[in-house]
Amino acid sequence: MKKSNFYYLTETFHSIEHFFIVKITLSRIYTNVKIMGKRPHLFYGKIKLTIAISLFFFQLITAHAFAHVNVSINIAKPEHHLANVQLDFEQVAIEKVNFYLPSWRTGKYQTLNLANGIREFTARDSQGNILNWHKIDKDTWQVTGTKNKKIHLSYQVYANELAKRTRHIDDSHAFLDSSAVVMYSKESRYLKHVVQLTVPKAWRSFSGLASGENNHQFIAKNYDQLVDSPIETGINEHHKFRHEERDYELVIWGEGNYDSSKMLKDLQVLVKQSKHIWQDYPFKRYVFMVHATSGAKGATEHVNSTIIQRLRFKFSSRKDYLGFITTAAHEFVHTWNVKQYRPQGVVPYDYQQENYSNLLWLVEGSTSYLQYQLLLRGNLMTADEFLSALAKRITAHIHKPGQASQSVAQASFDAWISEGGDYGNNHSVNIYSEGFFASWLLDFSILDKTALAKSYRNVHNQLYQQHRLPLSYNEDDVQGILKHTTGENYQDWWQKNIHGTAKTDFGPLLAKAGLEMSYAKGEDTKSNESLKAWTGIKTRNSAHGVTISSVEKNSPAWQAGLTMDDIIVAVNGLRIVDKDLSNRLTDFKAQQTITVTFFRRDKLKMANVKLVAIAKNKLKITPIAKASVEQKAFFKAWTGVNFPEKK
């Protein structure tokens, strides 16, 4: 159901702090309208009523200025992955109150079964009297008989979901994303929350939240800040550093082959590079949380912290370490892009249902693109390493048939129901990877149109300056900034590349920066020695043969009718003895036809596959031999580093 404007107005003026935010916001809107060439005095007149209403609500706000929610989380027996949670709410004036646990967490556009770990729920008033309750849907508890009473909730939480980065408790630590632990009501969402942990004696607790009266107490301004500030408590390694009057912390849980001193040194460099995109910092303190573990990998951004999970022995090699520091850069970019400005449909967060937007590619894909700006400008990644990463992205793009079936705008809107695997690769695109390419195209377009004076970085700085929360932005806003930046209209470009499925020609694009694509030094990709036979199949080893995990659309295997989960047992009548087909295929050349014997639904079948040729070696991006002064200048304006001369 669409919420009324009155609802959002009352939600905004929930505290004295937000009253002053409105004042700042109106001033910012006035400035933005002026920048976009409109008549601000007419616009400002239209919002006088808003100011008057805000003054009316100010009296209501002050009455609740000191109200808060007490949150107690007791982890007495962590080895069983359990915590006992108690919540104390201020007196309410209504007969029944709905308490919610979010259906999703920020940073992951997917509904989750967070309420499935809640047991032993009870509700009482301040005198200890039991209040009646019942569930009205999977993550809503309705408590009745609450009028003029304070409410005390108690329940048990099962926390054994490390990889989802929601809640995990064991005998060495607890990671608590409050969206999976702490309930809220519409009446309490905007109140201060005081969180008190009871944990084993040797544990240390850290969070992006402000510290309270003891080492295990944290204070959130409201529920939104609480769920965007996870808590890491347990046996951990802790480091601190300071830059430009801002405090940073590195907290590591788990053993592994990491070098924390190197991580600390490089993070100190990383945080200095944001100045190349944004004009200031939106925080006074930031916490990098790292999990070195087994079976869990990934990362999630939060308002002034991040949680990065890596396999415990995936830190020491240069390749693995690049993976870590690149992830750290990605999450740090998110501190601005999504945590300070985000698109309509995701402002304010609705925790109980999907939040739809056509611009999630800009949230995620642009972050994947901008992460390299921090790494290159901080000399944390060499130009050659960047070009290698870019070549890998282009290779994945080339083998992504789904780019012809789904636009990046459609992928953004459908992120909540997106699928990976065989179907996802053949019929869909990813907001991270394809959003990266959309951002790259925009960057080169802006550099071209402004004679290298401005770039896509300017667009993000303007989004930060003009559309910072509690505002939001839409597609027209982004196109308006593009027009203001370049002096040109981007409507046609937008329809073609964002809402359309235009094919990118990477050769001319790279040539602007003095680069070219090849598959090996001095290699003629038309010669037989440079090619290999290809089926379009990806496989995994199984007990009875080689199982197909995916078949690229329109590939030889696709045309032959092979599909996912077919179990290949022989080629040309001879049993497959290797873990995959790669060794066997070296016996054949392009244009040859092979007979594949496989099981499908336990029935033995055969298919004839006509092989085609692809390059034998990996794609490389290298500098051209005689790059012009203009090309070298373009590369420098693009990356912030000098052009890598051809070796």
Mind listing the pLDDT tens digit for each residue in 419-466? 889 999 999 999 999 999 999 999 999 999 999 999 999 999 999 999
Q: Any idea what DSSP says for residue 467?
A: S
8: left (phi over 0), alpha (psi -120 to 50) or beta: alpha
Domain harbouring 110, CATH code = 2.60.40.3650
- Report yes or no on 217 lying in a domain: yes
pLDDT band at 23 (very low <50, low <70, confident <90, very high): very low
pLDDT at 571: 96
> Is pLDDT above 90 for 543?
no
Q: pLDDT tens across 382-414, in order?
A: 999 999 999 999 999 999 999 999 999 999 999
> Is pLDDT above 50 for 132?
yes
Helix, strand or coil, per DSSP, at residue 175:
strand
pLDDT at 65: 52
What is the domain count for the chain? 5
Q: Any idea what DSSP says for residue 167?
A: E
C-alpha of 595 from chain center: 44
pLDDT at 616: 87
Q: Residue 37 and residue 57: Cα distance in Å, rounded?
A: 32
Q: pLDDT tens across 236-264, in order?
A: 999 999 999 999 999 999 999 999 999 99
pLDDT at 344: 98
Q: Residue 590's domain spans which residues?
A: 528-615
* Boundary-marking domain end, from 26, 41, 63: 63
- Report yes or no on 382 lying in a domain: yes
pLDDT band at 521 (very low <50, low <70, confident <90, very high): low
Q: Which of 342, 341, 311 is CA-nearest to residue 327?
A: 311
- The first and second tokens of residue 568, run together, are 């290949």
Q: Are residues 229 and 104 in the same domain?
A: yes
pLDDT at 181: 98
Q: Are residues 82 and 24 in the same domain?
A: no
pLDDT band at 526 (very low <50, low <70, confident <90, very high): low
Q: Which of 485-494, 506-515, 526-535, 621-630 has the lowest mean pLDDT?
A: 526-535
* Boundary-marking domain end, from 299, 332, 365: 332
Q: Are residues 350 and 482 in the same domain?
A: yes
Sign of CA dihedral 438, 439, 444, 450: positive
pLDDT at 154: 98
Q: Residue 559 and residue 289: Cα distance in Å, rounded?
A: 47
Q: Which amino acid is at 300?
A: T
> Is pLDDT above 70 for 13?
no
Mean pLDDT of 26-47: 48
Q: Residue 578 and residue 596: Cα distance in Å, rounded?
A: 15
* Residue 316: how many other CB atoms lie within 10 Å: 13
pLDDT band at 12 (very low <50, low <70, confident <90, very high): very low
pLDDT at 627: 96
Q: pLDDT tens across 49-92, in order?
A: 444 444 434 434 444 556 899 999 999 889 999 999 999 999 99
pLDDT at 528: 57
Domain harbouring 320, CATH code = 1.10.390.10
> Is pLDDT above 70 for 2?
no
Q: Which of 277, 320, 283, 302 is CA-nearest to residue 439?
A: 277
Residue 62 host element (H or E): helix 48-63
Domain harbouring 566, CATH code = 2.30.42.10
- The first and second tokens of residue 217, run together, are 């107490």
Q: Are residues 277 and 251 in the same domain?
A: yes
Q: Tell me the CB-side half-sphere exposure of residue 41, using CA atoms within 13 A.
A: 0
pLDDT band at 581 (very low <50, low <70, confident <90, very high): confident
- Report yes or no on 620 lying in a domain: no
- Report yes or no on 520 lying in a domain: no
Q: Are residues 14 and 140 in the same domain?
A: no
Higher per-residue pLDDT: 576 or 167: 167
Q: Based on C-alpha coordinates, what's the Rg of the chain?
A: 27
pLDDT at 36: 46
pLDDT at 58: 43
φ, ψ dihedrals at 555, nearest 5°: -75, 170
Alpha-carbon torsion, ordered 627, 633, 635, 641, to 10 deg: 120
Pair type for strands 96-100 and 603-610: unpaired
Q: How far apart are the first and last CA of the chain?
A: 61
> Is pLDDT above 70 for 471?
yes
Residue 180, CA distances (Å) to 51, 69, 170, 380, 416 in order: 37, 17, 16, 35, 18
Q: Residue 559 and residue 566: Cα distance in Å, rounded?
A: 15
Helix, strand or coil, per DSSP, at residue 32:
helix
* Residue 38: how many other CB atoms lie within 10 Å: 11
Q: Are residues 55 and 99 in the same domain?
A: no
> Is pLDDT above 50 for 19?
no
Residue-averaged pLDDT of the chain: 90
Q: Which amino acid is at 334?
A: H
CB 297 within 8 A of CB 257: no
Q: Are residues 576 and 427 in the same domain?
A: no
Q: How many residues does the chain have?
A: 647
Q: Are residues 240 and 225 in the same domain?
A: no
Q: Residue 216 and residue 202: Cα distance in Å, rounded?
A: 12
CB 106 within 8 A of CB 306: no
* Boundary-marking domain end, from 285, 317, 332: 332
- Report yes or no on 521 lying in a domain: no
φ, ψ dihedrals at 71, nearest 5°: -120, 120
> Is pLDDT above 70 for 489?
yes
Q: Which amino acid is at 110?
A: Q
> Is pLDDT above 90 for 150?
yes
- Report yes or no on 243 lying in a domain: yes
Cis status, amide bond into 508, omega within 30 of 0: no
Q: pLDDT tens across 207-244, in order?
A: 999 999 999 999 999 999 999 999 999 999 999 999 99
Q: Cβ neighbours of residue 638 under 8 Å, at least 6 residues apart?
A: 443, 444, 447, 455, 513
Q: Which of 76, 210, 237, 105 is CA-nearest to residue 164?
A: 105
> Is pLDDT above 80 for 18?
no
- Report yes or no on 519 lying in a domain: no
pLDDT at 66: 65
User: Between 360-377 and 383-398, two packed helices, what is the crossing angle to 10 degrees?
Assistant: 150
Q: Residue 564 and residue 541: Cα distance in Å, rounded?
A: 13
Cis status, amide bond into 200, omega within 30 of 0: no
Helix, strand or coil, per DSSP, at residue 36:
coil
DSSP string, 552-609: -TTSHHHHTT--TT-EEEEETTEE--SSSSHHHHTT--TT-EEEEEEEETTEEEEEEE
Q: Residue 287 and residue 302: Cα distance in Å, rounded?
A: 10
* Residue 141: how many other CB atoms lie within 10 Å: 22
Q: Residue 327 and residue 309: Cα distance in Å, rounded?
A: 10
- The first and second tokens of residue 37, run together, are 């060439």
Q: Which of 86, 161, 168 is CA-nearest to residue 121?
A: 86
Q: Are residues 501 and 460 in the same domain?
A: yes
| Percent of the chain at pLDDT exceeding 90 | 84
Q: Are residues 327 and 379 in the same domain?
A: no
pLDDT band at 201 (very low <50, low <70, confident <90, very high): very high
Mean pLDDT of 347-367: 97
pLDDT at 376: 98
Q: Cβ neighbours of residue 138 under 8 Å, at least 6 residues apart?
A: 103, 113, 115
CB 75 within 8 A of CB 200: yes
Residues 549, 553, 556: CA angle, nearest 5 degrees: 90
pLDDT at 135: 97
Q: Residue 4 and residue 6: Cα distance in Å, rounded?
A: 5
> Is pLDDT above 50 for 35?
no
Whole-model pTM? 0.89
pLDDT at 527: 55
Residue 242 host element (H or E): strand 237-243
Residues 227, 289, 365: CA angle, nearest 5 degrees: 75
Q: Are residues 398 and 545 in the same domain?
A: no
Q: Are residues 476 and 347 in the same domain?
A: yes
- Report yes or no on 522 lying in a domain: no
Higher per-residue pLDDT: 28 or 92: 92
C-alpha of 191 from chain center: 27
> Is pLDDT above 90 for 145?
yes
pLDDT at 38: 47
